[in-house]
Each structure stands twice: as structure tokens, then as C-alpha cells.
């Protein structure tokens, strides 16, 4: 009997949505965090933030300047597996000197907002690819978009 209860508890923990912040897996480390706010008609405004260190990226020289280049892809699907966010873009950013980036704990930071989400479990797929080295980091997680009552 105790074995069955332990198995059920373990299964419940595996099925739970992960909570923010989320850390990537793979060759390129980055973090994703989120914040939710009440929107109209019982919906939720979900902000998604992410950061990565320039120390984890390679760079290319162009006209005497070093540049990091990376591609970001974000997909968010609702519990019915409908895609509610599907964005992909390329970023080219100046690359700081390694010593300066280390001393100042510099990060590349970005965010995206999804304004009209139905509360509940959503599937987040997040990939950042360093276009100079080919290294990738990935997050695939179920996240919970909270519901807000009218009084909140």
C-alpha cells in the first residue's frame, strides 16, 4: 500500500508544471523567467523574460567590432495543443570585452508579452542558438499560467 502511495506521489510530481525560473539544457546556458498579470475577460497577461551571458557566446569581427549573433525561437501552446505564440528572430549585438563582461556580470536580456492567454497549463519550447558556434540551449517545459479573480 505504501509503495502505491509513493508511486502516485512521484507521478503527481512528474506531471506538475515547472515553476519559474527555468534553466536551459544543452551547450548554451540561459535562464527564462515569467510574470503574470490580470488581463480582460478572465484572461492573463504573461510576460516571459530571458537572459544569457555574452561569456557563453562566440563572436565575429566586423569592421573592428566584435559581434555576437544568436537566434531565439519561442513556442507556447495551450492545453489543447493550440499554438498561442510562435516567434523566431535573429539578434546581432555588440560583444563586450571578456574582462568587462565578467567584472560587470553583463547579460543579454530580452522579453516578450502574451496579452490574452487562457489560464491553465501551457507548453513552452524555448531555443537559443549561437550562430557563431552552432551551440544551442533549450527549454521544454509545462508552465502554469495563473488565473486572477475579479477582485485581484
- Please report, to the nearest 10 degrees, the dihedral formed by the alpha carbons of residues 109, 115, 121, 126 taken in order: -30
Residue 43 near residue 117, CB atoms below 8 Å: yes
- pLDDT above 80 (res 18): no
Q: pLDDT at position 14, please?
A: 43
**Distance of alpha carbon 89 from its chain centroid, rounded?**
14
- Higher local confidence (pLDDT), 8 or 82: 82
Residue 139 near residue 123, CB atoms below 8 Å: no
Q: pLDDT at position 149, please?
A: 81
136 vs 26: CA distance, rounded Å:
6
- Tens-digit pLDDT profile for residues 21-60: 999 999 999 999 999 999 988 999 999 999 999 999 999 9
Exposed/middle/buried for residue 27 (C-beta within 10 Å: 0-12, 13-18, 19+): middle
Candidates 110, 141, 138, 109; CA nearest to 27 is 138
Amino acid at each position: 500500500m505504501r509503495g502505491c502511495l509513493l508511486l502516485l506521489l512521484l507521478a503527481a510530481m512528474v506531471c506538475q508544471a515547472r515553476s519559474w525560473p527555468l534553466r536551459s539544457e544543452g551547450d548554451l546556458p540561459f535562464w527564462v523567467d515569467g510574470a503574470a498579470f490580470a488581463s480582460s475577460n478572465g484572461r492573463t497577461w504573461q510576460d516571459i523574460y530571458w537572459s544569457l551571458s555574452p561569456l557563453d557566446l562566440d563572436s565575429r569581427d566586423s569592421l573592428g567590432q566584435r559581434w555576437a549573433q544568436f537566434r531565439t525561437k519561442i513556442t507556447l501552446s495551450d492545453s489543447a495543443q493550440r499554438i498561442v505564440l510562435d516567434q523566431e528572430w535573429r539578434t546581432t549585438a555588440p560583444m563586450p570585452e571578456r574582462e568587462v563582461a565578467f567584472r560587470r556580470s553583463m547579460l543579454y536580456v530580452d522579453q516578450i508579452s502574451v496579452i490574452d492567454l487562457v489560464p491553465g497549463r501551457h507548453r513552452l519550447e524555448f531555443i537559443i542558438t549561437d550562430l557563431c558556434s552552432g551551440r544551442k540551449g533549450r527549454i521544454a517545459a509545462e508552465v502554469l499560467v495563473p488565473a486572477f479573480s475579479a477582485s485581484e
